[in-house]
Amino acid sequence: MPHWLQLMLDSLGPLLWAGLIFTIPLTLLSFAFGLIVGLAVALIRLFGPRPLAAIVQFYVWIIRGTPLLVQLFLIFYGLPSVGVVLDAFPAALIGFTLNVGAYTSEIIRAAISSVAKGQWEASFSIGMSWGQTMRRTVLPQAARVAVPPLSNTFISLVKDTSLAAAITVPELFQSAQRIVAVTYEPLILYIEAALIYLAMSSVLSALQARIEKRLSQYGGFMEARA
């Protein structure tokens, strides 16, 4: 068996284990919390009081205008200088959550804004409250618009978690770096890590296509009923 193939087989287990234990949980938790933050920020910017809307708009401006790596470094290496010390994984989780929250807030805000004004008026005319209108009329329609870009954000997040290696989170990419430090075979190990990321992204892209197809079918059914 060729040396490079044997090396890839030997390192496959540790890399997959790191992905299972750190990369996937970090991705799922960051996206889930970021989605909550994004929804809250979007609602505040659309319907909240002006001072609070200005604060969350400033947050979005800061996050979108600075590199994610810098944000991670500020949280993990910068905060200890003011007495806030975080372990690597929680620091990465906070950093990714804040980053995802800023970007998803813009997606959700645009999706909610795309719902026709007549939908609001129709809901209010049959006695729905603002909250009922939002839950039963606006958000379901906005979801159809938001799902494709949110799916792209999730797929990008899977790859972006490799930046957590810079703050010592032992995820997939840092595991590859550790093996490289022992084997001195960076090309083989980094190609293997790239292939694993590619496989995960490809699976998620396939799932995204299926979800979008179902949403389009549901949208066509609703339009036919209307």
pLDDT in tens, 87-114: 999 999 999 999 999 999 999 999 999 9
pLDDT exceeds 50 at position 225? no
pLDDT exceeds 80 at position 183? yes
Q: Domain total for the chain?
A: 1
Phi, psi for residue 220 in degrees, rounded to 5: -65, -35
> Is the model more confident about 226 or about 13?
13
**Cα 215 from Cα 49, distance rounded (Å):** 33
For the domain that residue 113 is a member of, what is the CATH number?
1.10.3720.10
Confidence of residue 219 (pLDDT cuts 50, 70, 90): low
**Domain span at residue 141?**
3-225
> Residue length, the chain?
226
The H or E element that residue 156 is part of is helix 139-160
